[in-house]
Structure 1
């Protein structure tokens, strides 16, 4: 049955986008998707609670893409030390061009798992990243977050469900987004998760229920975070 298990179909943007201008356009459209689907709202609320007594915290955004999450964090946390990391060097170029230098956000091109910061980050976040990973990689990633985030970590991703699966292509068509966004949107949803899968990943990573939460947010977001 469709959506009964995670899809392993690769996303076209990961394999077929070979032109910088098209890649930049895709990241711009993805930032619009994030606005319209309230992608960053759960993370911002979580961070506001966690960082209430630590205004000068350090934060790493994994696979930062356009950098829109970091810019929204900057508006709310002017003293924070913010860094974005992305494996694709084009993402650094796009994010830097979209970010005011006064925002003081650092962008790095590197593999997050190989990156060695001078000191641990207080918080590590990621959005729409984990559905690109295999089940085994998700488990390893949870362990990595637990080890490398000094004060807490947050994962935002999609809830695999028929409503967004059939509804997103309609929204993408109405917004006239890049074809990669239109086509990959449904693939991303099919590659994403249900609550039982996150419960299993946490169990395999050795993270007990009292250390992490799994929360559903409108519209069809499943967010996993340290308590």
Structure 2
């Protein structure tokens, strides 16, 4: 029997309250860690990190840094996306401090387990409610969020966009899913064939059902008063919204 997320209508976005993910509730550290590790391996296969490196490449071309960058990753989870950013920046000799922010205390513990060593880049992991953090943190150069926005209620998206746009001094990136039954079914099949964690097999299709399409992002940007943002497919079934400020 197919899970409800695969049989629902994809014409409209499903709100998180109407279709919870198993990872939305309280979990043990062991379950959180195992699930996010499994999801990270799926992201590798699905080219899910390409939007991050592509954005950074465009940023470096338009705004070669003259001083150390500060990049904040909202909803950093296991930290795999931020580590990919760190590898890219370090390879290009860019000095940066990267801050991963997640409200789940398991996130910092999980991310800290991965040993990293960079020449030019430092990473810190911060446990905080995202909306508390963004009201009190100093303005970073760049704000990123990957697979975060589909966890938010639709009403929370415009305020989040507004905060990113007025706070990120040099640019920002949202890397999220594109709502598609084809993508949801494909993810479900891939996760089963590759024996991914049961929570990943359940939550992946739910995430697609809770994600957005281009017209919805256009409406959110308009409601947030954000102009000159770019919307495009950054990888298979990844819809990305970004803005790089002119020097």
Q: Same fold (TM over 0.5)?
A: yes
- What do the CA deviations read for 1:151-197 (whole angstroms, capped 9, x no partner)? 01100111111211211111000121111110011100000011110
2:84 corresponds to 1:72: yes
Distance 1:107 1:14 in 2: 20
2:128 corresponds to 1:110: yes
Q: Which residue of 1 aligns with 2:207?
A: 188
Distance 1:38 1:129 in 2: 17
Q: Which residue of 2 aligns with 1:2?
A: 9
1:30 to 39, 59, 79: 39
Aligned partners of 1:85 and 1:109 also within 8 Å:
yes
Q: CA RMSD in A?
A: 1.5
Segments of 5+ residues of structure 1 without an aligned counterpart are none
3-state secondary structure, aligned to 1:98: coil
Q: Which aligned pairs between 1:1-227 and structure 2 lie closer than 5 A?
A: 2-8=9-15, 9-15=19-25, 18-52=27-61, 53-54=64-65, 56-78=68-90, 79-100=95-116, 104-115=122-133, 116-117=136-137, 119-208=138-227, 211-227=228-244
Report 1 or 2 for greater relative contact order, CA contacts < 8 Å, sequence distance ≥ 6: 2
Aligned partners of 1:12 and 1:184 also within 8 Å:
yes
Aligned partners of 1:51 and 1:57 also within 8 Å:
no
Distance 2:36 2:184 in 1: 20
3-state secondary structure, aligned to 1:107: strand
Distance 1:11 1:193 in 2: 16
Distance 1:143 1:50 in 2: 20
Shift of 1:140: 0.9
Shift of 1:39: 1.1
Aligned partners of 1:25 and 1:178 also within 8 Å:
yes
Distance 1:91 1:153 in 2: 22
Segments of 5+ residues of structure 2 without an aligned counterpart are 1-7
Shift of 1:77: 1.3
After the TM superposition, list the runs of 4 or more consecutive aligned residues in structure 1 that deviate by more than 6 angstroms.
Answer: none
- In structure 2, relative to structure 1, the CA distance for the partners of 1:101 and 1:92 (3 Å cut) is farther
- Taking structure 1 as the reference length, the TM-score comes to 0.93
Aligned partners of 1:20 and 1:90 also within 8 Å:
yes
Shift of 1:27: 1.0
